Structure 1
Amino acid sequence: MSDKGDKIETIENAGPAELQATRGQRFKRHCGRRWWIYLIATLLVILAVVLGIIFGAIPKIAQNSVNDSTLQVDAIAITNPSNERFTLSMNSTAHSHSPVSAHFSPQTFEMYLPPADGQQIVPFMTLSVGRLDIKDTLTINVSDVVTEILDKPAYDDFSSQVLKNEKLSLGIRSNPEVNVGAIKFKVDYQKTVELMGLNGLKGIKLFNPEVLETPMEDGTNMVTDGIIPNPSSFTLQVGDLTVDISVGPQPLGWSVVKDLTLYPGDNHVKIYNHINPRLLDVPIFVASLQAPNTNITLTANSTVFNGEHISWLEKPLHEAPPVIAILNPQ
C-alpha cells in the first residue's frame, strides 16, 4: 500500500509545479515559438514610419521651403517683337533654405498679371528652364527663347503696364518635380515679383538741333540728339518709333527714332525730324531752336519692326498721355 500511496503522491505534486511557472516565462515560451510574427510586425511598423517620412514629411518640408523662398527678377529682355511672338531672355535669383540635397526637374514657368479678387489667372507667356539644383541662392538665367503670346488681351495689359507704370507686379508659377535622391514628388511654386516699369518714358532730353540745308531722301530736314531714360530692368526692342511733335498748341511735324532698343539706363539716340518746311522759313522759329529748356510735346504715333506694326507696343504708347521732352536742357 505504501508504494501505491507514494506513486499517487508523486502524480498529485506534478500539477502544481506546472502552474507555478511565471507569466514572464510563459511569454518567453510564446515568443520563442512565434518570433517570426513579431519580427514581421516590427518591420512593418518601421516601414510605415519610413514611408510616412518619405511621402508625408519630406514633401511637406519641401513645399514649406518653396513657400518661404523669395524670387527676384534681375533683368528681362524682349526682342524681335511681332504680334504673335517674341524672343525672351530672363535673369533671376531665388533665395531659399533647403534642408536636404535636391533638384528640380525641367519645368515651365507661366507668367501673368496678378488678378483681382475673384478673377482667374490668365497666363500670357511661358518660359521653360532645365534642371535646377536647389541651393540657398539659386541663379536662373534663360537666354533667347522664342516665346508665343498665349493671350493677347492679357499681354497687351502687361505691355501697357511696363510702358506706362513706374512699378508693376508680375506673377510666376509652375508645378515642378522635386528629386530627393530616388524620391520624386510635385510641389506648387507661385510667386509675385515687383518690377520697375519704363514710367511713360518721362525725362527725355533733346540736344544739338541741326537744320539741314538739303533734306535727306526720306524727307528729314532736322536732326537732334536725344537721351531716353529707362529706369526699369527691361530691355525692349521697339523698332522704328514715330512721334508727332509740337510746342504747346503749335504742331511742328513728326520725328522718327530708327531701330530703337531701350536698354536699362540712359539711351543715347539720333532723332530724325520732319519739320513743317514753312516753319523753317520763319527766322524766329529757327532762333527758338537754340533757346534753353524748351518744352517739346511728343505724342507716340506708331512702332514698326521688320515692316510690321507691333500693336502691343503701338497701342499703349499711342493711348498714353503725351511726353514732355526738354530741348536744350540747362
Structure 2
Amino acid sequence: MNSKSNPSYSIGSDRNSLTFGTKSQSEKQIKLEAEHDAVDRVRSAQFVAISSSYSPRLSLSFLAIIPAIAQRIVDNTALHVYSAQILNPNADQFTFILHTSLDVPRGLRIRTDPLNLSFFNRDVTPMEPYLTVALPAYSLKGKTDLSITRNVTDILNMKQFVNTLASAVYNKSFTISAKGSTIGHFGALKTLLTVEKDIELKGLDKLSGFSIDSARLVIPKEADGTNLVGVVMIPNYSIFTFALGKVTLNLQCSDMVIGQATIENVVLKPGNNSVSLRGQLDMDTVIDNLPAILSTPKSALMDGGLELTASVNSTIYDGKHIAYYEKLLNNLTITTRVPILMILLDTVRGLIDTTGSGDGNGINITAIMGDMSIFMETTLAARSLKSFMDGCDPVISTNLGN
C-alpha cells in the first residue's frame, strides 16, 4: 500500500463540488473543532480515507450520495413545537417566541450553520412567506431543544398571516408550514440541507366554551357609564399565547346589540383564562325589546337564562388598534347563556333588602318573579325595576298596584 497520506474529501454547499485535502489536514480540523463529537468526526474521516485507498471510483460514488442520505435524515427528523408566543403587537411587527425540538437519529451528530426559517401556507403557490425567523447555529444530537426569541419580527405578507391566524382561531386543528436551507456538518463532511416541515397543531375552535361566570349590575352606574361588571372565562386550546391588549365586545341578544363590554390587558394563554369584564348595558333597548329577547331558545330560558352572543368590536394594544386582530375577530361570534334577568333582579333585591321601606311602598321581588313566562308580566317587572334604578319609587308603586 502506498505510504503517502490517503486523501480525504468534504462536500461543499454545492452538492456537485468536492474539496480534496490530506488525512492530516482533516485531523487538524477535528482538533480545532474539539467541542463537537470528535469520535464521530474521526470515524467519518477514516471511513472516507479507507474507501478512497481501495477504490477511488467507489469513494467518489459514496460521496456523491452523501447529500441525498443527509437530506433523507433531515426529512425524517421530527420537528416538535411546544409553545409559541405573539407579544407586543403593532401594525406590522411583534415579538415572537418559539420553543421547539428536533429528534436526530441516535448516534448521529449534526452541526448546522445559522438558518432563516420561513413560515408559509402550503396551499398557496408560489410560496409566499408571511414570517421569517433567524435561527442561530446548533449542534444537534438526539432530542435537541430549540428556543428562540425575536423582539422584532416583521409580518412579510399580511394576507397570508391573517389567513393562518384565521385557520388557528376557527378550527380545532390547523397546519403551519416552515422551510429553510443551511449547511449541515456531519463529522468532517458538510452538505447543503433543506428543512421543510408541515406541523399540525391544535386550534382555538372558535373559542367554544366561552362563558360569563359571574355578572352583576352596578347601581347607580359609575361615572364612565359602567353598569355591568363580571368575570368571563376564555378558553385557549392551542399552544399559542396571544397578547391582545384592550378588547371591546358587542353584546347581542336576538340579533340586537344591547350593550358593550371591555376586557383590559388580555393575554390569552393556553388553557382557561379568567378575566374581569366591565360594560355598559343599554337598559332602554333591553326593556323595549323584551318580548323579542325572551324569544331566545326555550332551552336557555328553562335554565333561567338568556342566550347571549358577543363579538369583538376592537382590539387596542398600547393605545393602537391592531388591524389584523380586528379583521380576524370581528367575524367571530361567541355564544353563551347568561341569566341576565335573574342578575337584574338579584342586583335590585340586594338594594331593596338593604334599604327596606316602612310605608308599604317596598317591591315584592317574589311577586315579580312569580311568573316570568308571560311577556306582559315580565315587561312590567322589568319596567318597574328600571324605574327603581332611575329613582322613581312612585312609578314603581303605581305599576305594581295595577
Q: TM-score, normalised by structure 2?
A: 0.64
Q: Does 2:260 correspond to 1:254?
A: yes
Q: Does 2:76 correspond to 1:64?
A: no
CA pair 105-263 structure 1, distance change in 2 beyond 3 A: same
Question: Which piece of structure 1 moves more, 44-53 or 267-276?
Answer: 44-53
Deviations 1:93-149 (A, max 9, x none): 222316543211121111111125xx2111100111222222231221113432000
The answer for the alignment partner of 1:78 in structure 2 is 86
In the alignment, the residues of structure 2 paired with residue 43 and residue 276 of structure 1 have an alpha-carbon distance, to the nearest angstrom, of 86
Deviations 1:214-253 (A, max 9, x none): 4334322110111011111110111111111122234311
> Is the 1:205–1:328 Cα contact (8 Å) retained in structure 2?
no
Q: Which letter maps to 2:315?
A: T
Summarize the alignment of residues 1-330 of structure 1 with structure 2, pairs less than 5 Å apart: 46-47=55-56, 49-53=58-62, 55-97=63-105, 100-115=108-123, 119-278=125-284, 292-320=304-332, 322-327=333-338
In structure 2, the residue corresponding to 1:232 is in which secondary structure? coil
CA pair 253-325 structure 1, distance change in 2 beyond 3 A: same
In the alignment, the residues of structure 2 paired with residue 292 and residue 94 of structure 1 have an alpha-carbon distance, to the nearest angstrom, of 52
In the alignment, the residues of structure 2 paired with residue 328 and residue 278 of structure 1 have an alpha-carbon distance, to the nearest angstrom, of 18
> Is the 1:62–1:98 Cα contact (8 Å) retained in structure 2?
no
CA pair 132-98 structure 1, distance change in 2 beyond 3 A: farther
Structure 1: gaps spanning 5 or more residues: 1-34
CA pair 43-101 structure 1, distance change in 2 beyond 3 A: closer
Q: Which letter maps to 2:168?
A: V
CA pair 45-239 structure 1, distance change in 2 beyond 3 A: same
Shift of residue 74, structure 1, vs aligned partner: 1.2
> Is the 1:226–1:271 Cα contact (8 Å) retained in structure 2?
yes
> Is the 1:206–1:328 Cα contact (8 Å) retained in structure 2?
no
> Is the 2:108–2:142 Cα contact (8 Å) retained in structure 1?
no
Question: Which piece of structure 1 moves more, 63-72 or 214-223?
Answer: 214-223
In structure 2, the residue corresponding to 1:134 is in which secondary structure? strand
In the alignment, the residues of structure 1 paired with residue 56 and residue 145 of structure 2 have an alpha-carbon distance, to the nearest angstrom, of 38
> Is the 2:167–2:174 Cα contact (8 Å) retained in structure 1?
yes
Deviations 1:42-85 (A, max 9, x none): 977755544543x4233222111011112121111101111210
Deviations 1:286-310 (A, max 9, x none): xx99x74432111221111112111
In the alignment, the residues of structure 2 paired with residue 306 and residue 259 of structure 1 have an alpha-carbon distance, to the nearest angstrom, of 10
In structure 1, the residue corresponding to 2:123 is in which secondary structure? coil
Aligned length: 284
In the alignment, the residues of structure 2 paired with residue 170 and residue 252 of structure 1 have an alpha-carbon distance, to the nearest angstrom, of 38
The answer for the alignment partner of 1:7 in structure 2 is none
Q: Which letter maps to 2:218?
A: L
Q: Which letter maps to 1:180?
A: F
In structure 2, the residue corresponding to 1:268 is in which secondary structure? strand
In structure 1, the residue corresponding to 2:129 is in which secondary structure? coil
> Is the 2:258–2:286 Cα contact (8 Å) retained in structure 1?
no
CA pair 48-254 structure 1, distance change in 2 beyond 3 A: same
In structure 2, the residue corresponding to 1:300 is in which secondary structure? strand
In structure 1, the residue corresponding to 2:197 is in which secondary structure? strand
In the alignment, the residues of structure 1 paired with residue 183 and residue 304 of structure 2 have an alpha-carbon distance, to the nearest angstrom, of 61
In the alignment, the residues of structure 2 paired with residue 187 and residue 208 of structure 1 have an alpha-carbon distance, to the nearest angstrom, of 55
Deviations 1:5-45 (A, max 9, x none): xxxxxxxxxxxxxxxxxxxxxxxxxxxxxx99xx99x9777
Q: Which letter maps to 1:324?
A: T
In the alignment, the residues of structure 2 paired with residue 129 and residue 43 of structure 1 have an alpha-carbon distance, to the nearest angstrom, of 36
Shift of residue 280, structure 1, vs aligned partner: 8.1
In the alignment, the residues of structure 2 paired with residue 219 and residue 312 of structure 1 have an alpha-carbon distance, to the nearest angstrom, of 29
Higher RCO structure, 1 or 2 (CA under 8 Å, sep 6+): 1
Q: Which letter maps to 1:256?
A: T
> Is the 2:248–2:313 Cα contact (8 Å) retained in structure 1?
yes
In the alignment, the residues of structure 2 paired with residue 43 and residue 97 of structure 1 have an alpha-carbon distance, to the nearest angstrom, of 27
Shift of residue 311, structure 1, vs aligned partner: 1.3
Deviations 1:143-192 (A, max 9, x none): 34320001111111112222222211100111021012343221111000
Q: TM-score, normalised by structure 1?
A: 0.77
> Is the 2:102–2:144 Cα contact (8 Å) retained in structure 1?
yes
